[in-house]
Structure 1
Amino acid sequence: MSPKSVVRLRQAAKETVSGLPRAFWWLWISTLVNRLGGFVATFLAMYLTVERGYSATFAGLVGALYGLGGAVSAVVAGVLTDRLGRRPTLLVSQLSTAVTVAVLGFVEHPVAIAVVACLVGMTSNASRPAVQAMMADIVAPGDRVRAFALNYWAINLGFAFSAMAAGLIAKHGYLTLFLTDAVMTLLCAVIVFAKLPESRPERDADGSAGDERATGLGAVLRDRRFMAVVALSYLLASLFLQGFVALPVAMGEDGLSSSDFGLAIATNGVLIVAVQIPVTRFIEHRDPAPLLIVSALLTGCGFGLTAFAGSVGVYALAVAVWTLGEIINSPTQMGLVARLSPTHGRGRYQGMYVLSWSLASLTGPLIGGAVIDHFGADTLWAASAVVGVIAAAGYAALGRTLRARPVEEAHPDTVSMDLDRGLKDVPVVRDADTVG
């Protein structure tokens, strides 16, 4: 690499991380720590089918119960995020997740596994509305796509490590995976407790009771453009989740091991770590609708390609294709959700958005497991390609409504807002070396 290229790369990296508040970086660090130990959700299906000897249908049922727990907590946690605050919701979620994940490693009866998996889904998913609402609180509107991309980058940096490490650790016992996950979640809670103040914006002096009604769940459900985003998110989430539920089962049927799956799925995290930031710099200020259309088509094509896989290399190639769709979709869609969310209803809006993923976690495993058991994996991958095309058409229709009625920001500058308990005039990171 030439000296000029090195200079340009350093400048691009500096521009990517500069101008974001210090609180964002502590939230970013807590996300990274949490994902470095995020073993259980990734390897739960393989743990049940390979280690415990259960069928793909049972693994799908447990995954569905995990999603059911997440669906319940998404809405409840969204309301709590607005009413109690972001920080209390985060702490309760992380502490309870550590306990339930540890318990899941010890239970053996199928009913107990199913019940505890539901509790894990409930506790772990409760943090997502709070994290995303806090990020929208502390980051200026023009920087949100970049901030969401950086946070997603942290998730996948941790995931790339955990996916590769977990396959090796599992050879020495899956219990180690569960306990390590619990310890890392506790460490994440410590970071939140020690470094993150509350970020919920203060309400008006009159108590803003009308604002509370205006941003209730009924108002969220009546927001047609936002609910269209939720529905399309559900379709793509259903596809992405097959990479962690149906894909390991299909690879197991092909005679591949947990280490092979770890290597193939690590392509997802490694690719995101490698190209998420430059891709985000390209898409940051572009019209979201065309980007979302492309992301849906890439996702459908990637999962469709899985039908032709039989080796780790081809599985990894298929993962790479749908990962490109994920790289474009995630920050673009989360930025759009933040733009559509009113200031004092962010928790509820984010909770409803998280619900789309939770419902996908509920139905996706059931559908994936049942289709594999009754029709074979190739049928599932062909259907996934069709779903990708349908989602692309939906994003095209959504784009027309966004152009007809442009989205207005809820407020011009969140950084200068008066925020609860110590986030007024949040210190801003001006250089990558000052992070933390």
Structure 2
Amino acid sequence: MSVARLRGAARETVSGLPRAFWWLWTSTLVNRLGAFVATFMALYLTIDRGYSASYAGLVASLHGLGGVVSSLGGGVMADRLGRRPTLLIAQTCTAVFVALLGFVHDPVSIAGVAFLVGLASNASRPAVQAMMADIVRPEDRVRAFSLNYWAINLGFAVSSTAAGFIAEFSYRAGFLIESGMTLACAIVVFAKLPESRPAPTAKGRSEDIGLGTVLRDRRYMAVVGLSFLVALVFQQGSVGLPVAMGRAGFSPADYGLAIAVNGILIVALQIPVTRFIEHRDPRTLLAVSSVLAGYGFGLTAFAGSVGVFTLTVCVWTLAEIVNAPTQTGFVVRLSPVHGRGRYQGMYTLSWSAAALIAPLMSGTVIDRLGADWLWGLCAAVGTVAGLGYALLLRRLPMGDGAETADEGGNGDGFGGVERPHAEPATSPAQ
């Protein structure tokens, strides 16, 4: 492909999206560029503070538990208070708690603050996803979610590298830098993002859609359950794979080399793959990506060298690239306009719960049965999820989603609320 064609493809990928989306995208990128706690918490506790690995695991679990709790709380706040206030509260609190984490020394205090960090940081996710659904036209949502996912991985790739050098100097500096970057996100939200929550109508009000409504939506809860299964599989890249490689005699550097391919491929392929899938049937994409993820991890049972481990990472990373934006966009299709926050919160809960359970599952299976059983289980779970998507969604008409989800909207992607400014859609400055 020529340089001109590459530029044209890139221009088409980023064109047509509203300015508000790009400010939200910028906020996401800045947030991930400052990520430190999630990457180096275990090393901070065991090396810098001298605590045991068991205590580090407990703190990580409490951090994850905070995320589970706030998945639903953040969704309710996004619908009741609005997307913008929820983001401001969540990001400001996260900045305060992350900074505090760098100064507390008592084990109980560290554990408590880690829980608060997980609680505050995860509360913004349903609001971000709901706001993105509000401000982006239905036909552009898969592309928008894909670009946001790309920003998350690009920021994380850069921050992980930088965090290693920062940790050599000072772990506290890392916490303060993350706190500052998160506060910068809040400033971007305050200065540049208008509220996007749809205005109440006679037919649908946010207060009429409670968590009970979400729980009674059987088709949606089935999708959440399938998302949980897929998330359990993907979590093994960070919890099961390093343990299995260590047991097989590989070094942490070997694992780092293999897993680095995941971030590199996402940054390199997310945008071109999205161009290929954005107008294809999401039902097929979800089914195929679930099976591909399961068998990508299943192939790990046959890996005996770093090169083969890396190849397996390539397989399930491709599944991740397809699954992430498709799943998020599909969740929006199934969500009523005035309940997007709660529905996105329940979807976020499936991933938070998987992050909490996956370490326990992988450790138990590897200790009692061996790593090969874990990879076989991943293949089975991925297959079940793929079949579940195929069977559950086979009767869902393609017209039941983007069009009906925005019923009552004004067609401009703001879900029925008036645009604060009549600005043309713009591409990012870079």
Q: Answer yes or no: same fold by TM over 0.5.
A: yes
Aligned CA distance change for structure 1 residues 359 and 416 (closer, same or farther; 3 Å):
closer
Aligned CA distance change for structure 1 residues 317 and 98 (closer, same or farther; 3 Å):
farther
Q: Could you say which residue in structure 1 is the equivalent of 2:320?
A: 326
My pick for the range that moved more, 115-124 or 138-147, is 115-124
Aligned CA distance change for structure 1 residues 55 and 371 (closer, same or farther; 3 Å):
farther
My pick for the range that moved more, 291-300 or 303-312, is 303-312
Q: Deviations over 1:398-428 (max 9, x none)?
A: 23132499435222624365536x5354531
Q: Does 1:411 align with 2:401?
A: no
My pick for the range that moved more, 195-204 or 379-388, is 379-388
My pick for the range that moved more, 389-398 or 145-154, is 389-398
2:187 to 190, 203, 219: 190
Query: 2:135 and 2:398 mapped to 1: Cα distance?
Result: 29
2:35 to 35, 38, 46: 38
Q: Could you say which residue in structure 2 is the equivalent of 1:220?
A: 214
When the two structures are superposed, what TM-score results if normalisation uses the length of structure 1?
Answer: 0.88
Q: Deviations over 1:36-72 (max 9, x none)?
A: 1223223434555666676665554433322221111
Q: Could you say which residue in structure 1 is the equivalent of 2:61?
A: 64
Q: Does 1:356 align with 2:353?
A: no
Q: Does 1:18 align with 2:15?
A: yes
Shift of 1:180: 2.6
Aligned CA distance change for structure 1 residues 211 and 266 (closer, same or farther; 3 Å):
same
Q: Deviations over 1:230-289 (max 9, x none)?
A: 1111111122223233334445554523x5544433322211111111111111111111
Which residue identity does 2:223 align to in structure 1? V
Q: Could you say which residue in structure 2 is the equivalent of 1:427?
A: 424
Shift of 1:141: 0.6
* Matched ranges for 1:218-297 at <5 A: 218-251=212-245, 254=249, 256-257=251-252, 261-297=255-291
Identity over aligned pairs, percent: 64
Query: 2:323 and 2:33 mapped to 1: Cα distance?
Result: 23
Q: Could you say which residue in structure 1 is the equivalent of 2:162?
A: 165
My pick for the range that moved more, 189-198 or 332-341, is 189-198
SS in structure 2 opposite 1:126? helix
Answer whether contact 1:60 1:365 (CA < 8 A) is retained.
no
Query: 2:421 and 2:406 mapped to 1: Cα distance?
Result: 16
Q: Does 1:97 align with 2:64?
A: no
Which residue identity does 1:188 align to in structure 2? C
SS in structure 1 opposite 2:345? helix
The alignment covers a number of residue pairs equal to 425
Q: Deviations over 1:10-60 (max 9, x none)?
A: 111111111110000010011111111223223434555666676665554
My pick for the range that moved more, 284-293 or 113-122, is 113-122
Unaligned runs of 5+ in 2: none
When the two structures are superposed, what TM-score results if normalisation uses the length of structure 2?
Answer: 0.89
SS in structure 2 opposite 1:409? helix
Aligned CA distance change for structure 1 residues 88 and 276 (closer, same or farther; 3 Å):
same
Shift of 1:194: 1.6
Shift of 1:135: 0.4
SS in structure 1 opposite 2:251? coil
Shift of 1:381: 2.9
Q: Deviations over 1:171-216 (max 9, x none)?
A: 4454443333222212211211221111112223x6x6x6335422
1:346 to 340, 361, 370: 340
Shift of 1:87: 0.8
1:384 to 337, 354, 378: 378
My pick for the range that moved more, 183-192 or 147-156, is 183-192
Query: 2:378 and 2:42 mapped to 1: Cα distance?
Result: 19
1:154 to 130, 151, 155: 151
Q: Deviations over 1:312-353 (max 9, x none)?
A: 544433322211111000111111111111111111111111
Q: Does 1:76 align with 2:76?
A: no
